């Protein structure tokens, strides 16, 4: 059984069908990239999977359970964490506090106000680990708003992994980064994914990043899936070439 299954997901805005009958199955442990030209519907697909936008039609099944129509925070509690295309942080909280709030929101005893220090201690530990993984430990006490753009993007990924998600959804993690920052981010992501315990959906513009990270690629064009498969198969696909990759190399 796939971890995430999209069955005929459709979303229209007035006359425009942004996501058109998308079927996609993602196995546990898989790193799936979703690519496509601007306006292909990648972000809309992300937003309907995570409950930010309602669907017009179709279903999302996560770990055998229907999650279509659940509010965002419930979807997150099921174990789907995401990052955003534009950086979403708490600028006046420290880097550590940013990650800690993500960690504590997932703790099983979070609604026990008198759970003693153990939830706090556990959340702190998870936050330390997430910062370590993102190589941000030295900025632990720095306010998030003071970090460089590249470090803010990494912090955001740290917040997502601190939720210990079963499915991690990364929305253009290298958006707006310099070449050096992108290389560093890719290296950190590769190390993180090398452990093999995460399932990831990655939306990304940068083809180099996609081919370095993804196991499988789904290509969207005008809201529809036009190709689906291993990176080499997708590269060789004629329709993909003309729709998207044609302009590159």
Partner 1 sequence: MNFAGFIVAQTLNAFSQAAILFFIACGLTLIFGIMRIINFAHGGLFMVGAYVGYSTVAYTGSFWLSLLIAPITVAAIGGIFEKVFLSKLYVRQDAGAYLMLTFGLAIILAQAVHLIWGPQPRSVAIPDLLRGVVVILNQPFPIYRLFLIAIGAAAAIALWQFLERTRAGLLIRAVSQNAEMVHALGTDVALVRTGIFMLGCAIAALGGVLSAPLVTAFLGMGSTVIIDAFVIVIIGGMGSFLGSIVGSLLVAFVQVFGAYYFQDMALAIIYLLMLLVLIVRPGGLLGKEQ
Min dist. Cβ of residue 73 to partner 1 (A):
5
Q: Which of 48, 49, 89, 202 binds partner 1 (CB under 8 A)?
A: 89
* Binding-site size, partner 1 (CB under 8 A): 28
Find out whether 44 and 11 touch, Cβ atoms under 8 Å.
Answer: yes
Backbone angles phi, psi at 34, to 5 degrees: -110, 115
* 132, two tokens: 């370590």
Q: Which residue from 228, 104, 81 is spatially nearest to 156, judged by alpha carbons?
A: 81
Min dist. Cβ of residue 24 to partner 1 (A):
22
The binding track of 163-202 with respect to partner 1, each residue x by CB under 8 A or -, is x---------------------------------------
Bridge-partner residues for 114, per DSSP? none
Q: What CA dihedral angle connects 221, 43, 146 and 134, to 10 degrees? A: -80
Element (H, E) at 167: strand 167-171
Among residue numbers 90 through 119, which ones bind partner 1 (CB under 8 A)?
Answer: 90-93, 97, 100-102, 104-106, 110, 113, 119
Given the structure tokens 């998030």, which residue do they identify? Answer: 144
Question: Rounded to whole angstroms, how far apart are CA atoms 99 and 157?
Answer: 9
Min dist. Cβ of residue 59 to partner 1 (A):
22
Q: What is the DSSP letter of 148?
A: -
Q: Which of 73, 179, 195, 247 binds partner 1 (CB under 8 A)?
A: 73
CB nearer partner 1, residue 53 or residue 119: 119
Binding flag, residue 207, partner 1 (CB under 8 A): no
Binding site for partner 1 (CB under 8 A): 50, 52, 72-73, 76-77, 82, 84, 88-93, 97, 100-102, 104-106, 110, 113, 119-120, 123, 159, 163
């Amino acid at each position: 059984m796939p971890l995430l299954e999209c069955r005929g997901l459709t979303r229209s805005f007035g006359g425009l069908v942004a996501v058109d009958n998308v079927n996609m199955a993602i196995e546990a442990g898989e790193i799936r990239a979703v690519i496509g030209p601007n306006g292909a519907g990648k972000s809309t697909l992300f937003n309907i999977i995570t409950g930010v936008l309602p669907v017009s039609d179709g279903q999302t099944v996560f770990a055998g359970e229907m999650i279509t129509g659940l509010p965002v925070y419930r979807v997150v509690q099921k174990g789907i964490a995401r990052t955003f295309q534009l950086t979403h942080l708490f600028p006046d909280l420290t880097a550590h506090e940013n990650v800690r709030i993500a960690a504590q929101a997932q703790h099983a005893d979070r609604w026990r106000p008198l759970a003693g220090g153990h939830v706090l201690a556990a959340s702190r530990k998870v936050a330390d680990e997430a910062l370590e993984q993102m190589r941000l430990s030295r900025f632990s006490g720095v306010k998030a708003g003071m970090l460089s753009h590249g470090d803010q993007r990494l912090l955001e990924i740290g917040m997502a992994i601190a939720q210990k998600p079963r499915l991690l959804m990364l929305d253009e993690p290298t958006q707006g980064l310099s070449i050096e920052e992108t290389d560093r981010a890719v290296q950190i992501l590769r190390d993180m994914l090398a452990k093999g315990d995460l399932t990831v959906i990655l939306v990304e513009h940068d083809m180099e990043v996609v081919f370095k990270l993804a196991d499988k690629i789904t290509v969207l064009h005008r809201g529809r899936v036009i190709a689906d498969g291993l990176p080499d198969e997708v590269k060789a696909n004629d329709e993909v070439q003309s729709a998207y990759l044609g302009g590159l190399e």
